[in-house]
Amino acid sequence: MKTIYKKTKIHFLYYIVALLAILTGLFKDFIILSLLIFIHEMGHVLMALYHSWDINKIIILPFGGLTIFKEHLNKPLKEEFMILIMGPLFQTLFYLLAFYLKPNDLLTNYHYALLLFNMLPIIPLDGSKLVNLISNLFFSFKVSHLMVIYLSILFLGGILLYNLNNLIIFLVFSFLIIKVIWEYKYHNYIFNKFLVERFIYKFKFRKTKVIKGLKLSKMFRDYNHDFIVGNKLYKEEEVLKQRFDKSKDL
């Protein structure tokens, strides 16, 4: 746990919102929300540790936490889902216990507000990760990533149609806009990282998909791939080797 403590960082927005809460007499509200955020993020962290995921850092924001991993993009979907779901589950269990011991309207309001906000399909909220996991069951890695980006833009656009005259809400959605722009800007880099991992580490999965042509953009998570080019069938390793080793031709 000492290692986790050292990896935990407080975002500067957290301090700004804390100051605003003190100045506006809402410090009690801020403490309750912060406690829910901490419990929520610990759910993600503990399940990640259970699956031996390498945690890079944990960022505490005024509206939630952000756990960043030093892990492959090709980690099993099942593991990522378990890590994702444990955040809301820990928060809910804590809320039910705390409310049972001492009912509190503020706790109830912030619990449901945080859950609802966090499930918005906007990068990097849990809702966007859930959409990405589900889409990866039906679509390729590349398509799934683009779907989440475009869905994030759509929801942000809808929210920005309203007048964001609250400073805290403005700061929160400014942060989200920056994250979505970053994800869009580095989409090709992220896709190439997905391919490079498959080339270097040669993952083996239980299921295999057949792709017609050398269309790497159709590669899925949790699948091996066979490529049909003309009348020949090539293994994923051969195609990736040709992609990253230009001296090798199919």
Answer yes or no: 41 catalytic. yes
**Helix (H/G/I), strand (E/B), else coil: 147:** helix
Residues 6+ apart with CB under 8 A from 94: 36, 39
User: Angle between the 105-118 and 77-101 helix axes, to the nearest 10 degrees?
Assistant: 170
End-to-end CA separation in angstroms for the chain: 50
Q: Which residue has the tokens 């998909």?
A: 209
Report the DSSP pairing between strands 207-212 and 223-229: parallel
Which one, of 63, 53, 74, lies nearest residue 14 by Cα? 63
- Kindly report the backbone phi and psi dihedral angles of residue 168, in degrees, each rounded to the nearest multiple of 5, phi listed first: -65, -45
CB-CB contact of 111 with 102 (8 Å): no
Catalytic site residue from 41, 80, 183, 236: 41
Catalytic residue positions, numbered: 41
